[in-house]
Amino acid sequence: MTHAELQDLTGLRLEEAEALYAVQKFDGCVYLCGYVVELGLKAVVCRTLNLNQYPESRPAFKVQDFDNLVLLAGLQSDVKALSGALRTNWFLVSRWNSTLRYAPRNTSGQSDASDRLDALKDPNDGVLTWLQTRW
């Protein structure tokens, strides 16, 4: 997947998460919010390593874990330096993992979904807003 495709998919997954929220499918919304962060981090990895394409087939890059993606993206010190609302938003969205796909129905409520969307989209302190300045 190319750097540009990762950026495009990041936006698409956010749109899909918002659409699920609008029809009260909060579990799916929360799940897709995680993929927004994952794809955004992978776009940062591409920029940091000057790659046109994300090397998903290489074992070191075949990850969904945010800690490993932060390392690959060269953002460890940036994440540690986060403060205020952005730090709070990062903490909220970084608790995601792909095993949420196995969570029972109604694991996430409206409040959780709304909080995650806000944590991504806040124009000043949103995690996606922050990632976009780095990709």
CATH of the domain at 107: 1.20.120
Query: Which range of residues forms the domain containing residue 99?
Result: 3-132
pTM: 0.94
> CA 98, CA 88: separation in Å to the nearest integer?
21
Would you write out the chain's pLDDT as a tens digit for each of its 135 residues?
999 999 999 999 999 999 999 999 999 999 999 999 999 999 999 999 999 999 999 988 998 899 999 999 999 999 999 999 999 999 999 999 888 888 999 999 999 999 999 999 999 999 999 999 999
How many domains does the structure of the chain reveal? 1
